[in-house]
Structure 1
């Protein structure tokens, strides 16, 4: 028997071959604490398997490596936890996204429920534009809420809408009205920057906002914008949406739509803009006032460069096109908002409803305006007022020119439209002073007097009224030609008394004066107020041979498709003055420019007639004159009716009239004034001269009186500055 081991001595199992008589301590399955239920019987190793062979050890090692690799591919023990985390995160993200989508749809449904039914939705009409053009087709002005014409997409150069798409909504052609990618990018960029840097609205959303919604920045408005954008995408093509957008978007300076903006900044229609100009316009969309080339040229240039690079990045233009566009300049036209053609446009808009009623579509108005004459009149008024206005205490003025038929060729309603839009040429009622005297003399000639009739210039009292001459002097016996030429107030008052104030009023009415006139002796000195337009029109019969005219500026009104809505026909009331009287009046009126108060207005070899006018206390200064072709009236004064510093009609108004008429008559042939030219007549006392104390005619009633230019009893001061 084997010896019992001592205390603490460990009994190890032995695996050597059994020896006879030795104790067998090998363990079997029955020796385990818990017997497995379905354990396979372990194969007993042979005595020779105590050590594995090298081949088997290598195979086991390879198997272990493969099992480790498989565990790594499955994430291993540690990796399995990360994998489970990502699987759960993905799952819950999808769940959250689904619920967010459901909430978004529900929110849209909620706000959509507060909108009218889709069947009632309708794209509002674009506000109509009125395009006003000159007699030669040049643009005078655009009027309406937009400031430009509606243009079709195919009328524009391709790079203009492409510039807008490149910088505002590059996926416009592919999204469904909302751009999730662009929205996500905008959110990420704005969060990263900590401020609003990018917007997520598509062009369709912007159009929906412009068409249907108020500009307030609320969740309700934003959700309604989304609903409307989806509706637009369902009911209109991409090209239709883009066209509506380009015609309605605000681009600064009161310009709505690309055509209005192109005209405002570059003085050309949108269809003719260059690539650089198109990029400049597209750059305005971000902030019209900030990037307007008229306000900040450098910022506008930088923004246009950004747009060009965006177009290249989007594949709309080549590298070469981009380089050329960046190197090019977008020439901004310094178009003054104070240009006088705006007075013409305002007058046209006032007249338009009386011809075609309510304007509900784009129309083109053909006018009688000659743009060369318009510019000449404007330049003359502005320059002369700048030179002498301060010295003479004159702050405002107006000019109007008409042709033989009453067509307005030029109209300047004030010194600077941007500072005052009041149209003085059409709406200012001012005292004409001595410029009203031709109607008195015309009535006298029609009553039997002649240019050679003599009246005495001397103190006179009619009732309680005692008119005075400008010079405060009297010169005795003078012909009517001389009296008119030197603007003698006493003689004019006598003549008005002779023929009767009512007859003077009737004569003025017949020639075209429509303002209220007071039929009293003082009417001879122009105490009743008139407008520059109407008194100019009343002078036209002396220019055209005696035919009355209706002053007008509109020739034709038509739609953009060519349909004629109105066309002018007829020239006026017909003959209003006998040709013989016209000839005699022109003989007298031309003397004013040769020897009288209108010498500064002389046109040299070109025959012309005219009359100065100065109201009481020098509040108004006038010169109204004409040739065979044109009639022009010039008024100067102050809007508050304050006196000027002795600015008479024969001074600054005459100078402005001359400069304007010389410019307007360039390349116009010289022509004699109309009317029958008769021989000077013998002086005779009119039978109905009336008691005009102490007026009398010359003593030698049989002599021939011939007016001699440059001679007369009046002094030099009276000739130059009188009346």
Structure 2
């Protein structure tokens, strides 16, 4: 009998051993391979606060709150801020990006005469301070799982202690399963006649989450036990607890499953995991037992009760004093604003994906946890989105015929050309149709500054030069084209700066006819128009069709005065170990001199002073900026370009079906720009001009330099050598 039983046992153990060997291979290959498919994370640019920049105290406080800083009595801890009646202090976080490691720093901000002043704790003046880049979204794959990967060293010890105390107090002593825990659960379940308590260790929970389904069978339980023993055999407790921290499921929002404590901290509290309080750690640990049941967004009272149970466990184990326990259970649950979870960056992410598609395949971007650093300015993006929504709503309310009005907006850094914000619609959230890229429409009078640039570049014209504003007729095929000014009037002989500022069509056509339409077409291509087009007279009045993004690229060389000519989106890509994979550098060569571009930009400042953008100048009487309005035939499209010391902004409004909307560049798009600019603390264009350019006061009626006492004069920029040679003191004999 013994021999037969031994033989049967040996034969039966062979398939069992093969099964265990197969499970061992599964455990090792999954744990040491790609444990999780984590999509690429996209980050904003750091927010740079500069001494001397225009800032309001309330604006800085709001910015700090939006980026997860807490206000308390002092700012000694990283991630905390404090405020007095006149000052704000903050302990800014450290961060790593493609430019290296940036240490945390404690800074004091004051606001004398509306200008930001930054000081260190010892009182020394500081030129600038930086708020770390913010994660704005994922590329691909982010709709199924949301996760941030932690290393063991990044896990707060307090969280580790609470998790082990509540979920598996024998974690550091068992081999993957706890006989005592199983026996305790068995007694409780038998006593109550139902399954009331589980005996799973943290290792078993990890195995269940990483390797197994949620079915409840004896076979699955046996598999779980064996795999837990194998996991403990191969890996250290640190490896296992780290994997658990990253794998545990904690919530579902929309189509995305929230995994790991780091992602949960950002989702629920809007700040890094290492900045949470004990009661907040207790809330997250309490959710492990029932993520849906104890979700604080859906069931705040139930979540609070569960949190207090966890705090009670800590008190019973001597980890909390009675006084601390009583204080913590009274704390309300303070969650991050739910509305901020709905991304306003969808249109910007379109651009990111478009640029990266040339260098990275979709699978890599969807699984490799790359870190993508962009130039998006979170303040500018929020201000642009809200300005578009508010002003379109106001326009629709004021005129029911404008129902269905849509819009797009592109904001770039005036100097570098980095894209700071993209708005693809007037809707509140991402719609999937990015009009900033896809709305290709006639640009109207936005074509005029490049046209006047063509004239200035010849060396035969200055802003003081005059041109006849009178009706012209052009034969186009078998038909005659006779354009008109917007006011249906002729204005006689006018200076070039007047013709552009007041957007005179007839004067512009006369100038185009003089310098040649082919030359204007070449200028447009040199400024960055890559879309094929055929030059003809109507092009000089804006028949050229471009998207808002293409218009921004067209204006960038002028806005930057030759410092940039391409628009940048992605700055760099790094891997999860912060190794630089690719840095994106852009060409900055512009086929025009800095002087000609600077003179053109200076001439555009006349548009808000005397031309079609006077409403914008009235809104910012102390601001020096350049602008151009644009309106197309039948008022189907409303355009506006505004250039300040910080941002070059293109705004388009219109209907997707291309029907007349009865708004001009001044009455439509300009209002969006004014709203946006009111919320970004604008700075004036620099008064400095490049070498070879000067600004002079000139008499309007005579090509002579005017003294300060002269009344009828205008300030104009000239390429040196083209300015008036004669001067007058305006002293007249009686």
- The alignment's TM-score, normalised by the length of structure 2, stands at 0.69
- Are residues 1:543 and 2:597 paired? no
CA distance in 1, matches of 2:216, 2:538: 66
Q: 2:441, 2:637 within 8 Å by CA — same for their partners in 1?
A: yes
Q: 1:450, 1:681 within 8 Å by CA — same for their partners in 2?
A: no
Q: Deviations over 1:462-498 (max 9, x none)?
A: 4136364474613242434333223334444555555
SS for the counterpart of 1:291 is coil
Quick one: structure 1 residues 575 and 486, their matched pair in 2 at CA, closer, same or farther if it must change by over 3 Å? same
Quick one: structure 1 residues 105 and 549, their matched pair in 2 at CA, closer, same or farther if it must change by over 3 Å? farther
Quick one: structure 1 residues 377 and 106, their matched pair in 2 at CA, closer, same or farther if it must change by over 3 Å? same
Superposed displacement of residue 527, structure 1? 3.5
Structure with greater strand percent: 2
Pick from 606, 611, 621: which aligns with 2:623? 606
Residue matched to 2:569? 553
- Are residues 1:676 and 2:671 paired? no
Q: Deviations over 1:261-313 (max 9, x none)?
A: 11111111111111111112122223334433233322221221122223334
Residue matched to 1:718? none
CA distance in 1, matches of 2:157, 2:223: 32
Number of residue pairs matched by the alignment: 590
Q: Deviations over 1:311-351 (max 9, x none)?
A: 33445444343323212233211051334345445543543
Q: Deviations over 1:127-158 (max 9, x none)?
A: 34536242332324353645453223343332
Quick one: structure 1 residues 609 and 142, their matched pair in 2 at CA, closer, same or farther if it must change by over 3 Å? closer
Moved more, 265-274 or 337-346: 337-346
Quick one: structure 1 residues 661 and 198, their matched pair in 2 at CA, closer, same or farther if it must change by over 3 Å? same
Residue matched to 1:721? none
When Rg is computed on C-alpha atoms for both structures, the one with the higher figure is 1
Quick one: structure 1 residues 476 and 217, their matched pair in 2 at CA, closer, same or farther if it must change by over 3 Å? farther
Quick one: structure 1 residues 476 and 325, their matched pair in 2 at CA, closer, same or farther if it must change by over 3 Å? same
Residue matched to 1:39? none
Residue matched to 2:549? 533
Q: 1:138, 1:371 within 8 Å by CA — same for their partners in 2?
A: no
Residue matched to 2:273? 270
Q: Deviations over 1:21-76 (max 9, x none)?
A: xxxxxxxxxxxxxxxxxxxxxxxxxxxxxxxxxxxxxxxxxxxxxxxxxxxxxxxx
CA distance in 1, matches of 2:194, 2:468: 88
Q: 1:580, 1:677 within 8 Å by CA — same for their partners in 2?
A: no
Matches within 5 A, 1:682-721: none
CA distance in 1, matches of 2:453, 2:393: 37
Q: 2:446, 2:628 within 8 Å by CA — same for their partners in 1?
A: yes
CA distance in 1, matches of 2:373, 2:531: 28
Quick one: structure 1 residues 522 and 669, their matched pair in 2 at CA, closer, same or farther if it must change by over 3 Å? closer
Residue matched to 2:431? 420
CA distance in 2, matches of 1:390, 1:164: 54
Residue matched to 2:155? 156
Superposed displacement of residue 631, structure 1? 1.6
Q: 2:265, 2:273 within 8 Å by CA — same for their partners in 1?
A: yes
The unaligned stretches of length 5 or more in structure 2 are 1-8, 47-129, 707-711, 716-734
- Are residues 1:442 and 2:453 paired? yes
Quick one: structure 1 residues 449 and 197, their matched pair in 2 at CA, closer, same or farther if it must change by over 3 Å? farther
Superposed displacement of residue 191, structure 1? 6.8
The unaligned stretches of length 5 or more in structure 1 are 1-100, 684-699, 711-723
Pick from 134, 140, 163: which aligns with 1:139? 134
Pick from 593, 613, 616: which aligns with 1:578? 593
Moved more, 523-532 or 275-284: 523-532
CA distance in 2, matches of 1:417, 1:188: 55
CA distance in 2, matches of 1:107, 1:470: 91
CA distance in 2, matches of 1:608, 1:265: 42
Q: 2:641, 2:651 within 8 Å by CA — same for their partners in 1?
A: yes
Matches within 5 A, 1:267-666: 267-335=270-338, 336-341=340-345, 343-345=347-349, 347-352=351-356, 354=358, 358=364, 362-391=369-398, 392-393=402-403, 394-415=405-426, 418-426=429-437, 428-447=439-458, 448-451=460-463, 452-458=465-471, 460-463=473-476, 464=479, 466=481, 468-469=483-484, 471=486, 473-479=488-494, 480-493=496-509, 495-496=511-512, 499-559=515-575, 561-569=577-585, 572-602=587-617, 603-638=620-655, 640-643=656-659, 645-666=661-682
Residue matched to 2:69? none
SS for the counterpart of 2:232 is helix
Quick one: structure 1 residues 165 and 264, their matched pair in 2 at CA, closer, same or farther if it must change by over 3 Å? same
Q: Deviations over 1:623-681 (max 9, x none)?
A: 1121355322223334x345474232212321332343354445778535768347799
Residue matched to 1:71? none
CA distance in 2, matches of 1:517, 1:218: 69
CA distance in 2, matches of 1:284, 1:431: 55
Q: 1:162, 1:316 within 8 Å by CA — same for their partners in 2?
A: no
CA distance in 2, matches of 1:484, 1:142: 42
Quick one: structure 1 residues 595 and 349, their matched pair in 2 at CA, closer, same or farther if it must change by over 3 Å? same
Moved more, 226-235 or 374-383: 374-383
Quick one: structure 1 residues 705 and 530, their matched pair in 2 at CA, closer, same or farther if it must change by over 3 Å? farther
Q: 1:456, 1:476 within 8 Å by CA — same for their partners in 2?
A: yes
